[in-house]
Amino acid sequence: MNRIVIGRYIPGNSFLYRMDPRTKLIAMILLMVGVFLIQSFLHMFVALALVTLILVFGRLSVKRVYLGLRPLVFLLMFTFLFQVLFNRQGELLYSLALHYTILNLSLAFMVVLLWGFTKRFIRFRLLYFLGAVVGIFALLHSISFGVVLGEGTFAVYEQGLSTAFFIMVRLIIIITLSTILTITTKPTDLNLGLESILRPLRVLRINAEEIAMIIAISLRYIPTLLEEANKIMLAQASRGVDFQEGKLKDKVIQVVSLLVPMFIISFQRSDDLANAMEARSFVPGQERTRLHILRWSKLDTVALACTSLALAGVVLLRVVGW
């Protein structure tokens, strides 16, 4: 659990921590929009470098953010492969003839099985997976004798490759930006900032305070409910539920024996909480005083100016068409 970096606040004291949560939220959105407008490789690399600079100057460990990206490696790889394989526009860069014969299809199947069984013993799983994929392609290409079921080609096109690159770098930048936000901002501050930003929506009869309250309460109750779930799991385990093993039918009962009590507990908790809030004179929609008040500083103005400039620059580049 401790390795998950996304969504976790890590105490520190760089300029990123001193910024107002509102600034950070707005800056993040501006930068994200900017990243989507970029269209050339060079500019993309510049953007990546800028984000890395923010990390360095904000004294956040690059390694830590990289670790946060790790759970998403699979998603990134998937989008990359998907684009490369199925986007067939632009110039043809590379093609490989594939033969589907009974022999090599069954060999490929065996490679998949072998990979499935041995992957848990290998340290560099990603590399191992790539090796397996390359191996399958090599198999399909080189063995062409026997009963041939069909022919195909593996082709890489220019457009496919560049789209894949853009999507991947954009995703990396977006995730890094949001990780910066959550690492440097306490959930409560983030919530306060969100509430403050959403306040103008009152014109549309959307109550930002309520939304913020809902978010705050859900964040607050995640650990509590996890703890309750753990208790119930132990209680059911002592009634002979083996959460580690069991057939499919047993699994269903295991889940039900956990979920039903969890539902009941959540409803009870929310009922209790509602009563406790009312007992302290909480009235939805009513004006409230605050313990923490957000303060706008010079730093925020500078930060916002910089990000606005960056966005303006990107827009300009796009309009001019460099």
CB nearer to another protein: pick between 9 and 128: 9
Three-state secondary structure readout of the chain: CCCCCCCCCCCCCCHHHHCCHHHHHHHHHHHHHHHHHCCCHHHHHHHHHHHHHHHHHCCCCHHHHHHHHHHHHHHHHHHHHHHHHHCCCCCEEEEEEEEEEHHHHHHHHHHHHHHHHHHHHCCCHHHHHHHHHHHHHHHHHHCCCCCEEEEEEEEEEHHHHHHHHHHHHHHHHHHHHHHHHHHHCCHHHHHHHHHHHHHHHHHHCCCHHHHHHHHHHHHHHHHHHHHHHHHHHHHHHCCCCCCCCCCHHHHHHHHHHHHHHHHHHHHHHHHHHHHHHHHCCCCCCCCCCCCCCCCCCHHHHHHHHHHHHHHHHHHHHHHHCC
The answer to whether the beta carbons of residues 115 and 128 sit under 8 Å apart is yes
The residue among 280, 278, 287, 302 whose CA lies nearest residue 199 is 287
Based on the shown chain and the rule CB under 8 A, indicate whether residue 4 belongs to the binding site for another protein: no
Give the residue with the Cβ less far from another protein, 15 or 221.
221
Q: Which of residues 22-61 bind another protein (CB under 8 A)?
A: none
With contacts defined by CB under 8 A, name the span among 70-78, 96-104, 138-146, 225-233 that binds another protein. 225-233
Answer whether 139's CB lies under 8 Å from 107's CB: yes
The span of 32-40, 84-92, 259-267, 299-307 binding another protein (CB under 8 A) equals 259-267
Minimum CB separation from another protein for residue 13, in Å? 18
Q: How far is the CB of 229 from another protein (least distance, A)?
A: 11
In the complex, least distance from residue 17 CB atom to another protein, rounded to whole angstroms: 19
Shortest reach from residue 121's CB to another protein, in Å: 15
Site string for another protein, 227-246 (x = CB under 8 A): -x--xx-xxxxxxxxx-x--
Distance CA(31)–CA(35), nearest Å, equals 6
Indicate the residue among 2 and 289 with the shorter CB distance to another protein.
2
Q: How far is the CB of 32 from another protein (least distance, A)?
A: 30
Please, which residue, 18 or 231, has the CB nearer to another protein?
231
Segment 99-158, which members bind another protein (CB under 8 A)? none
Asked whether position 260 contacts another protein by CB under 8 A, the answer is yes
Considering only the stretches 103-111, 191-199, 260-268, 312-320, report the one whose residues sit in contact with another protein under the rule CB under 8 A.
Answer: 260-268
251 near another protein, judged by CB under 8 A: no
Pick from 265, 277, 299, 317: which binds another protein (CB under 8 A)?
Answer: 265
Rounded to the nearest whole angstrom, what is the least distance from the CB of residue 268 to another protein in the complex? Answer: 9
Q: How far is the CB of 2 from another protein (least distance, A)?
A: 7
> Which residues lie near another protein (CB under 8 A)?
2, 228, 231-232, 234-242, 244, 256-257, 259-261, 264-265
